[in-house]
A and B are shown apart, each in its own frame.
Chain A
Amino acid sequence: DAKTTQPNSMESNEEEPVHLPCNHSTISGTDYIHWYRQLPSQGPEYVIHGLTSNVNNRMASLAIAEDRKSSTLILHRATLRDAAVYYCILRDYGQNFVFGPGTRLSVLP
């Protein structure tokens, strides 16, 4: 399985942008990059995914490096509700999602 590396934890101030990094140096050409988050006492929630190009949706932006060996999830204005564990996952066809430890994001008021 292709692996990802994320910082264990990060802090942000409310209403400031947050950049959550993910390294995936062994990514294959057919791996999609998915981001999920898990709020306390909830199931994981889809955030965004992409293959090669940067992606934007109402929740976040995904910036993918040109060599695809890293990516960054960008929350444009963090709110208290964004405090969660964020998972960066590589997934190829036929594979199930494999969750690592993720990054625990704390948002300070």
Chain B
Amino acid sequence: NAGVMQNPRHLVRRRGQEARLRCSPMKGHSHVYWYRQLPEEGLKFMVYLQKENIIDESGMPKERFSAEFPKEGPSILRIQQVVRGDSAAYFCASSPAQGTNYGYTFGSGTRLTVV
């Protein structure tokens, strides 16, 4: 029973390039969440998606960032025209539902380095 799978584990991009981060939720989980952790800082919520729908994107920067969770395939967090400040660990989590009694299962993260 595989957990939340994120790839790649490490991603290096030059300034101005695009970064695509993938997340496959646990089997049976239809809710996906993305968090960002800047160096030496806490985890910050970015976006919450269900299949084909964005439910809450209140933590997403208004420009250059987008997320999707298509009917088939993994959730994708896309960062266009990356800048050095985008260097961080990006974690994806999934849950079977959104109720208070459901926890999140997190992946191991993608560490993005912008050079």
Contacts and interface: CB of A to CB of B under 8 A. Distances in A.
A96 B93 CA distance: 11
Contact of B107 (A36, A43, A92, A98): A43
B16 interface: no
A19 interface: no
- Bin chain B's interface residue count: 20 to 34
Contacts of B42: 99-102
Interface stretch (A10-18, A44-52, A60-68, A74-82): A44-52
Contacts of B101: 32, 49
Contacts, number: 49
A84 to B, nearest CB: 13
Q: How would you classify the secondary structure of chain A's contact residues: helix, strand, loop or mixed?
A: loop
B65 interface: no
Nearest first, the 5 closest Cβ-Cβ pairs linking A and B are A43-B106, A99-B43, A46-B103, A32-B100, A43-B91
12 contacts: A30-B100, A32-B101, A42-B108, A43-B106, A44-B104, A49-B101, A93-B100, A94-B98, A95-B100, A96-B33, A99-B44, A100-B42
Interface of A: 30-32, 34, 36, 38, 42-46, 49, 91-102
